[in-house]
Amino acid sequence: MYAIERGIHVMITKPMVMTVEAHKRIIEAARKNGVYVQVEVHKRYDPVYADAREKIRDTENFGAFQHWDSVMTQPRDQLHTFKAWAGKSSDISYYLNSHHVDYHCWVMDGLADPIRAMAVGSTGVASSEEFGCPKGTEDTITIITEWKNRADGSIGTAVYMASWAHPNNSECHTQQRFMCLGHKGEIRADQAHRGYSVTQNDKYAAVNPLYMKYTPGVDGEFSGQNGYGYRSIETFVDACRMINAGKAKPEDFDKRLPTAASTLTSTAILEAGRRSLDNGSCWISIPDLLAGKVPGHIKFAEEGQIV
């Protein structure tokens, strides 16, 4: 907010904030100060995910949305570092579910809307003596969401699962995949296994140079500029250059890039998941949350965190 109020364009890593109310404050501040705000959500630039989006949105062949199931897990060793904030100022859903929630909202934009959400969580690893996170810190959070298709009013369901309690010796840092079912089709994408594995004397790994290529090019120089992790940041820089040159306005990118104004729905789903966990896994109305009609705050806000 400090940068926005001083007229500086900003890129914020996901999730931008943890509540709809805070998200709206950023949108308002950006418009007031004429600056561009973009969220860093690199899943959108994965060529497989980008292709899948267009196939899912081809409702003539794929049909209306019926079901979504996504998984993202990372090794528990990270909790030695994350314990500084895990369960205190944020959770695993905000940290990892934010990827697939954003992607799914982007896929469904204009086709379907989330109606309500609830969440459940498992515990026992993060709060163990080994890691020392606060009692009750969730290891795995699963958000269940109902969606309503705009075309015919039919209902779709979505399950977003994230965990930081995965075994340490996995073949890749992040296990990640999704399945989307339409009335006429199905798509499955496994981002963790690209048909490319590397085995060395002491290690086996499923690697993904499509995200970031760490090996040099044939000239010995950096060659990761085509990776979708790099491109996510590149799109922000390109947008800023166009705005600064007077060739575009910040709002021109709302339909193309993950701007503050175009990512409010994903924040609503993540906040609804947290509110559900804080209240016995009850259902939370997404339209009411977006309209500011759900009373109370998420537990992190009650502890004085800026969300």
Name the pairing type of β-strands 197-200 and 203-206: antiparallel
Each residue's pLDDT expressed in tens, for the chain with a length of 307 residues: 999 999 999 999 999 999 999 999 999 999 999 999 999 999 999 999 999 999 999 999 999 999 999 999 999 999 999 999 999 999 999 999 999 999 999 999 999 999 999 999 999 999 999 999 999 999 999 999 999 999 999 999 999 999 999 999 889 889 999 999 999 999 999 999 989 999 999 889 998 988 888 899 999 999 989 899 999 999 999 999 999 999 999 999 999 999 999 999 999 999 999 999 999 999 999 999 999 999 998 988 765 445 5
User: 142: exposed, middle or buried (C-beta count within 10 Å: 0-12, 13-18, 19+)?
Assistant: buried
Number of structural domains found in the chain: 1
Any domain includes 223: yes
Which pLDDT score is estimated for 238? 98
Which pLDDT score is estimated for 110? 98
Any domain includes 75: yes
Any domain includes 132: yes
CATH code assigned at 252: 3.30.360.10
Rounded Cα distance, 79 and 81, in Å: 5
Q: Which of 66, 56, 149, 148 is nearest to 103 (CA)?
A: 56
Q: Is the peptide bond before 75 cis (omega within 30 degrees of 0)?
A: no
Any domain includes 298: yes
Q: What domain range includes position 47?
A: 4-302
Half-sphere exposure of 221 (CA within 13 A, CB side): 2
Any domain includes 233: yes
Strands (E), the chain: 10-13, 37-40, 65-75, 112-122, 140-149, 155-166, 175-182, 186-190, 197-200, 203-206, 284-285
**Amino acid present at 211:** Y
CA–CA distances in Å: residue 242 to residues 108, 221, 257 = 28, 28, 14
Structure tokens belonging to residue 190: 């496994």
Strands (E), 4-128: 10-13, 37-40, 65-75, 112-122
Q: Write down the residue that tokens 């992607």 correspond to.
A: 103
Cα dihedral 286, 287, 291, 297 in deg (nearest 10): -20
Which pLDDT score is estimated for 203? 87
User: 13: exposed, middle or buried (C-beta count within 10 Å: 0-12, 13-18, 19+)?
Assistant: exposed
Which pLDDT score is estimated for 307? 53
Largest CA distance in the chain: 59
Any domain includes 275: yes
- 3-state DSSP call for residue 65? strand
Which pLDDT score is estimated for 303? 52
